[in-house]
């Protein structure tokens, strides 16, 4: 294992650019929690080059702008838990952070790392996506911001180029009248998600207000756009089964070591129905 | 006796305790294991990657074993290292040692065991095809039978006959410390030190496979981070492996510490079971016939399966009286990791079936489950399935009163009423209550304790303190503390003046294995006897005081004076087990006193099921147990609470998932044990009916706590779901996925 330790974002980007040019894989490393969980059983598979970001202090801060919360790439779940304003203005971030692993993991694991690791079971991603977060990607050539909902291209695959570094996550602050996060794990704490859903609705009237984001039910964390369209259309849903036709188009769960496709599909419908029953009686 | 803190508690609490992996051993090599990639077949080649310089590694295979290539236990059918064929995935084939753990990992990956596969048995419930038979005519490891009365006639004349089939899955022990062992050679003596429950089992295994007598083998227990049965027989394998590597390395120390994933994949687990009940009751609801068929999955080798089956069938009828009983038990071979000892040793499996079945029988005849149990619970003077009359030294417990106390502690009536009201109004949560009554025979079954011939020595030290020498191990359950308490009480000392020797076969006599809830009851009693003998010796030969007259200060003085008169020697006394008078068991016919006495328990579970996810959560749990005299209330309560947690995990969460005979969720991320948030408040009370032949009046406490919770929880789920949904869970773990399947089968797919 080879570890590179840049001091600045520029230096990190140069290292990534050089590695990309030479065809080497250089993986950015923040909290390391996704790496350590496989140690030592998969240590051979993890042999390789890492870009240790822990010394890049520019990536650390959590900053409030007028229109957005900006999470630097080294912002941990615990940083968010400790930020009282998050619970008031973006409560789902707080709710999700508290359900990631245990406090030890929450205080090391980062939101950006969770995005980059690209697991379909990522706990931090659904709530960010439901808040219309954008991912700031920096390379030696410049910076771009990609909507998180357009970030993933397939299982463990994203639009991030090998020479790009996630430097921040921008979470726009907008008024929402529905905000629900529900994680179903195989036990009540310290568990990997079997089915998860984050639900938000922009306040006011107009189209495109709903965000329904699910994890562990598709190759990536997914926006359930058919369900969103159904809800945006103003349809009244009277049972969990009422969501199933739209959900069938949005999600593609599988049988795996943690659950079954049938279970995931059924529970997702019930979670949507009961979450909306609790949060928004105008729909169900 | 006053409650006393655990002697080793502070070291464990502060992290000062050093487990084998924490302890640097100068010049130590690390050992690792190359394992079978398939579940059954003939080894055609073992290929070593030519890119690796093997000259720097110590490599051992079956040809390096000085004695027979056999693991010494009930039958010696399990090889130390596979020779010619393999019977389960992860079976050890080659051992490798090196100073550098990283290079060692790579080297292990550089050895390919090539196997010509043969058809494995991957489902123990399916009768084997001819090409799958690997033992006898049908892979049976052991069959056992208990018969009393005439069950067929009783079934034919019963008012009602109720049947049921119940299944339980494999369970991992999840001791905090994975298996670990070190070996080296001192002079001509092979010394092993490591994590273990039974030093003399390890000694016997080493003697056999290394072809050495006990003077050339020494076994020392290291601080042990939990066992639960998982370190009953398996450490023998590690010890032999470490010793073989050390011998080949010229006596250099070799340490083998399993990674968690290796420990989970390659070591023993609780036997999966399928139990079928056919039960007859008369018009009043009295049990008239219990016909029980017990099938256990033994895995690839015999190991301890015959005795697990034995304990399983003896407990299969629960703590009930029934005049006509037929229990037929069979444990069969399959091509999985050998199943082994796990807290309860077969009794949790059969009592899960029995207690779930009792609820279903009560339901079928329209009786309240509590009233049905009270009607049928054993009374003193009645007989068990083996014809043992409960009474005398096994009697004195009012099992109906014990159940009443558990119902009160678990607020049975109140919660039942609350649940009924709650379930009418809540959109998706359903609550229920469940009860179970259990028993557990403490100590080895039948004449087992006689065969063990256990011994304990106590010695007076030069400073007047007393040392207790026993092979019984401290592994987190409190042996050292309770031994100190028992010896102190017998000697008139403070517990702080008792030294409990580290189990080391060069120092301590064989007090038997640390298993079967026998340590306090059987070995504790030997400590009392040995202390009595020591007093007697010193009293008659020493200070002129009469027999038994020495106690406390006078005993201390007598010991100090003895040392002054006999420099270089020590006063010591040894006690040997003698069975209580009148206890008789026929090992062939399974008739008689299966255990000298029994511990009794009753549990109440209060459960909530979320109909959205079908996840069940235990809200409250109450357990009342008669374990004889309680020696240390804090430790005893801890044993019960720990057992409840382990049993809730077994009932709801813990599932070993296998693919082609290999455990695939051999990581704590995917093998789900309860967290603090998954565990309810656990109320514990004791009923103390002292046992005249137990240390301090104690019966066993180690295993009984594992017997009752799973059926109580499942009965509560059935109660929560039954009336409305009709789901009748009969399998554990009752995962949400499994419960949803049951619900959908009961009602047809439906939205809630």
Task: Please give the average per-residue pLDDT across A59-83, as a whole number.
Answer: 96
**Contact in structure between B655 and B169 (CB atoms under 8 Å):** yes
The pLDDT assigned to B2 comes to: 52
Residues in chain A closer than 8 A to B104 (CB atoms) = none
* Domain annotation covers residue B470: yes
**What 3-state DSSP class applies to B340?**
coil
* Domain annotation covers residue B161: no
* Domain annotation covers residue B134: no
- Name the pLDDT band for B4 (thresholds 50, 70, 90): confident
Task: Please give the average per-residue pLDDT across B215-226, as a whole number.
Answer: 97
**What 3-state DSSP class applies to B223?**
coil
Q: What is the CATH number of the domain that holds B52?
A: 3.90.1170.50
* Domain annotation covers residue B202: yes
Nearest to B105 among A43, A186, A189 (CB): A43
Q: For residue A41, what is the nearest residue in chain B, using CA coordinates? A: B261
- Name the pLDDT band for B749 (thresholds 50, 70, 90): very low
Contact B105 A44 (CB under 8 A): yes
Residues in chain B closer than 8 A to A187 (CB atoms) = 653, 672, 674-675, 677-678
- Distance in angstroms (rounded) separating the CA atoms of residues B379 and B401: 11
The pLDDT assigned to A282 comes to: 58
Task: Please give the average per-residue pLDDT across B269-293, as a whole number.
Answer: 98
> Where in chain A are all domains bearing CATH 3.30.390.50?
176-279
Q: Looking at the structure, do residues B241 and B277 belong to the same domain, yes or no?
A: no
Q: Which residue is associated with the tokens 């259990």?
A: B438
Q: Looking at the structure, do residues B340 and B454 belong to the same domain, yes or no?
A: no
- Distance in angstroms (rounded) separating the CA atoms of residues A29 and B689: 61
Task: Please give the average per-residue pLDDT across B720-742, as a whole number.
Answer: 90
Encode pLDDT of A160-169 as tens digits.
999 999 999 9
Taking the CA of residue A267 and the nearest CA in chain B, the distance in Å comes to 6
CA separation, residue A7 to residues A53, A68, B40, B501 (Å):
8, 27, 54, 56
CA separation, residue B71 to residues A80, B37, B83, B448, B567 (Å):
55, 21, 13, 20, 43
Whether pLDDT at A283 is above 80: no
Whether pLDDT at B1 is above 60: no
Taking the CA of residue B137 and the nearest CA in chain A, the distance in Å comes to 35
Contact A188 B737 (CB under 8 A): no
- Distance in angstroms (rounded) separating the CA atoms of residues A131 and A213: 10
Residue ranges making up the domain that contains B629 = 273-444+589-746
- DSSP bridge partners of A152: A158
**Contact in structure between B738 and B597 (CB atoms under 8 Å):** no
Whole-number average pLDDT of chain B: 96
The pLDDT assigned to A17 comes to: 98
Chain A: residues touching B (Cβ < 8 Å)? 37, 40-41, 43-44, 184, 186-192, 239-242, 257-260, 263, 266-267, 269-271, 273-274, 277
* Domain annotation covers residue B129: no
Q: Compute how many other C-beta atoms are within 10 angstroms of the C-beta atom of residue B398.
A: 17
**Contact in structure between A54 and A32 (CB atoms under 8 Å):** no
- Distance in angstroms (rounded) separating the CA atoms of residues B195 and B238: 10
Q: Looking at the structure, do residues B234 and B379 belong to the same domain, yes or no?
A: no
Contact A259 B751 (CB under 8 A): no
Whether pLDDT at A181 is above 80: yes
Contact B752 A240 (CB under 8 A): yes
* Domain annotation covers residue B152: no
Q: Of the candidates B543, B576, B609, which is a domain's last residue?
A: B576
* Domain annotation covers residue B712: yes
Q: Which residue is associated with the tokens 């104690």?
A: B698
Compute the half-sphere exposure of residue B140: CA atoms within 13 Å on the CB side of its CA.
Answer: 12
Whether pLDDT at A280 is above 80: no
Whether pLDDT at A91 is above 60: yes
The pLDDT assigned to B532 comes to: 96
Q: Looking at the structure, do residues B434 and B478 belong to the same domain, yes or no?
A: no
- Name the pLDDT band for B541 (thresholds 50, 70, 90): low
Fold of A2-49+59-172: 3.30.465
Report which DSSP code applies to B520: I
Backbone angles phi, psi at A52, to 5 degrees: -80, 115
Whether pLDDT at B723 is above 80: no
The pLDDT assigned to B542 comes to: 47
Architecture of domain A176-279: 2-Layer Sandwich (3.30)
* Domain annotation covers residue B388: yes
Give percent above pLDDT 70 in chain B. Answer: 98
Whole-number average pLDDT of chain A: 94
Contact A188 B667 (CB under 8 A): no
- Name the pLDDT band for B751 (thresholds 50, 70, 90): very low
Give percent above pLDDT 70 in chain A. Answer: 99
Nearest to A274 among B261, B428, B664 (CB): B428
Whether pLDDT at B619 is above 80: yes
Q: Looking at the structure, do residues B243 and B363 belong to the same domain, yes or no?
A: no
Task: Please give the average per-residue pLDDT across B440-449, as a whole number.
Answer: 94
Encode pLDDT of B556-580 as tens digits.
999 999 999 999 999 999 999 999 9
The pLDDT assigned to B545 comes to: 52
Q: Tokens at residue A178, please?
A: 């529905």
CA separation, residue B658 to residues B122, B302, B335, B672 (Å):
9, 20, 11, 15
ipTM of this complex prediction, to 2 decimal places: 0.94
Contact A40 B667 (CB under 8 A): no
Look at chain B and report how many structural domains it folds into: 3
Q: What is the CATH number of the domain that holds B654?
A: 3.30.365.10
Residues in chain B closer than 8 A to A184 (CB atoms) = 613, 615
- Name the pLDDT band for A47 (thresholds 50, 70, 90): confident
**What 3-state DSSP class applies to B24?**
coil
Instruction: Give which of A187, A189, A192, A247 to mutate to test B binding, by max B Cβ within 10 Å.
Output: A187
The pLDDT assigned to A42 comes to: 77
Q: For residue A274, what is the nearest residue in chain B, using CA coordinates? A: B612
Q: Of the candidates B197, B231, B266, which is a domain's last residue?
A: B266
């Amino acid at each position: 294992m080879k570890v590179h330790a840049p001091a600045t974002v520029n230096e990190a980007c140069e290292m990534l650019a050089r590695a990309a040019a030479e065809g080497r894989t250089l993986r950015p490393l923040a909290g390391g929690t996704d790496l350590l969980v496989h140690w030592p059983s998969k240590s051979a598979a993890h042999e390789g080059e890492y870009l240790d970001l822990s010394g890049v202090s520019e990536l650390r801060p959590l900053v409030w702008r007028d229109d957005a919360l900006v999470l630097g790439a080294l912002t941990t779940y615990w940083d968010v838990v400790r930020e009282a304003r998050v619970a008031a203005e973006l409560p789902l971030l707080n709710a999700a952070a508290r359900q990631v692993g245990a406090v030890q993991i929450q205080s090391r694991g980062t939101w950006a790392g969770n995005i980059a690791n690209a697991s379909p079971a990522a706990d931090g991603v659904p709530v960010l996506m439901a808040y219309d977060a954008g991912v700031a990607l920096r390379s030696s050539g410049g910076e771009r911001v990609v909507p998180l909902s357009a970030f993933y291209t397939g299982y463990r695959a994203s639009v991030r180029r090998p020479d790009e570094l996630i430097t921040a996550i921008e979470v726009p602050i907008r008024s929402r009248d529905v905000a629900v996060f529900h994680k179903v794990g195989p036990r009540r704490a310290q568990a990997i998600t079997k089915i998860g859903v984050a639900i938000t609705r922009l306040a006011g009237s107009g189209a495109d207000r709903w965000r329904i984001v699910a994890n562990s039910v598709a190759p990536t964390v997914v926006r359930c756009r058919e369900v969103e369209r159904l809800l945006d259309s103003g349809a009244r849903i009277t049972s969990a089964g009422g969501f199933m036709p739209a959900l069938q188009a949005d999600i593609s769960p599988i049988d795996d070591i943690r659950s079954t496709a049938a279970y995931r599909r059924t529970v997702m419908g019930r979670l949507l129905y009961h979450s909306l029953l609790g949060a928004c009686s105008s729909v169900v | 006796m006053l409650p006393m803190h655990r002697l080793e508690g502070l070291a464990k609490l502060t992290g000062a305790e050093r487990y084998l992996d924490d302890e640097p051993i100068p010049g130590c090599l690390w050992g690792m294991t190359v394992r079978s990639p398939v579940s059954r077949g003939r080894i055609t080649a073992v290929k070593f990657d030519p890119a690796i310089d093997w000259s720097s590694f110590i490599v051992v295979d079956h040809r390096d074993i000085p004695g027979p290539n056999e693991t010494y236990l009930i039958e010696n059918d399990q090889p130390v290292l596979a020779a010619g064929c393999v019977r389960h995935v992860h079976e050890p084939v080659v051992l490798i040692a090196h100073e550098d753990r990283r290079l060692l990992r790579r080297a292990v990956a550089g050895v390919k065991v090539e196997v010509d596969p043969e058809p494995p048995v991957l489902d123990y419930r399916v009768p084997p095809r001819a090409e799958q038979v690997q033992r006898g005519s049908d892979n049976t490891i052991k069959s056992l039978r208990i018969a009393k009365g005439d069950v067929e006639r009783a079934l034919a004349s019963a008012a009602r006959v109720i049947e049921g089939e119940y299944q339980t899955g494999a369970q991992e022990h999840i001791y905090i410390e994975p298996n670990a062992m070190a070996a080296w050679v001192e002079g001509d003596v092979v010394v092993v030190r490591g994590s273990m429950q039974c030093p003399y089992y390890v000694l016997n295994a080493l003697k056999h496979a290394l072809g050495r007598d006990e003077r050339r083998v020494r076994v020392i227990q290291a601080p042990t981070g939990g066992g639960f049965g998982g370190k009953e027989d398996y450490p023998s394998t590690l010890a032999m492996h470490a010793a073989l590597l050390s011998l080949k390395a010229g006596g250099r120390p070799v340490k083998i510490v399993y990674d968690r994933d290796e420990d989970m994949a390659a070591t023993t687990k609780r036997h999966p079971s399928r139990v079928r009940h056919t039960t007859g009751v008369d018009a009043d609801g009295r049990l008239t016939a219990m016909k029980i068929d017990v099938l256990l999955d033994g895995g690839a080798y015999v190991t301890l399966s015959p005795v697990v089956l034995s304990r399983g069938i003896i407990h299969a009828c629960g703590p009930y009286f029934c005049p006509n009983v037929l229990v037929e038990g069979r444990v069969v071979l399959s091509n999985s990791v050998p199943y082994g000892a796990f807290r309860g040793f077969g009794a949790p499996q059969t009592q899960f079936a029995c207690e779930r079945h009792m609820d279903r029988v009560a339901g079928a005849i329209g009786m309240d489950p509590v009233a049905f149990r009270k009607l049928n619970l054993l009374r003193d003077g009645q007989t068990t399935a083996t014809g043992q009359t409960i009474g005398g030294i096994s009697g004195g417990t009012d099992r109906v009163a014990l159940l009443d106390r558990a119902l009160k502690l678990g607020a049975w009536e109140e919660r039942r009423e609350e649940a009924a009201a709650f379930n009418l109004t809540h959109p998706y949560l359903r609550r229920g209550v469940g009860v179970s009554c259990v028993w557990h025979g403490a100590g080895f079954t039948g004449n087992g304790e006689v065969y063990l011939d256990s011994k304990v020595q106590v010695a007076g030290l030069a400073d007047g303190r007393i040392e207790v020498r026993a092979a019984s191990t401290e592994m987190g359950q409190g042996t050292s503390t309770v031994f100190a308490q028992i010896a102190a009480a017998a000697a008139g000392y403070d517990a702080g003046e008792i030294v409990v020797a580290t189990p080391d076969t060069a120092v301590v006599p064989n007090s038997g294995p640390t298993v079967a809830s026998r340590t306090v009851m059987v070995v504790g009693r030997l400590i009392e006897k040995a202390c009595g003998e020591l007093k007697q010796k010193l009293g008659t030969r020493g200070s002129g005081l009469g027999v038994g007259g020495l106690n406390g200060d006078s005993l201390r003085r007598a010991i100090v004076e003895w040392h002054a008169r006999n420099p270089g020697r020590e006063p010591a006394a040894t006690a040997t087990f003698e069975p209580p008078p009148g206890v008789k068991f026929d090992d062939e016919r399974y008739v008689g006193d299966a255990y000298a006495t029994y511990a009794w328990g009753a549990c109440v579970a209060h459960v909530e099921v979320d109909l959205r996810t079908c996840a069940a959560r235990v809200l409250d749990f109450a357990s009342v147990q008669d374990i004889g005299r309680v020696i240390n209330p804090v430790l005893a309560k801890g044993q019960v609470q720990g057992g409840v947690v382990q049993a809730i995990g077994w009932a709801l969460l813990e599932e070993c998932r296998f693919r082609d005979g290999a455990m695939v969720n051999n990581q704590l991320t995917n093998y789900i044990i309860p967290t603090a948030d998954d565990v309810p408040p656990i109320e514990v009370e004791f009923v103390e009916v002292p046992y005249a032949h137990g240390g301090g009046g104690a019966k066993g406490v180690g295993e009984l706590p594992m017997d009752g919770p799973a059926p109580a929880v499942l009965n509560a789920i059935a109660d929560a779901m039954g009336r409305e949904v009709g789901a009748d869970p009969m399998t554990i773990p009752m995962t949400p996925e499994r419960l949803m399947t049951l619900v959908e089968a009961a009602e047809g797919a439906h939205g809630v």
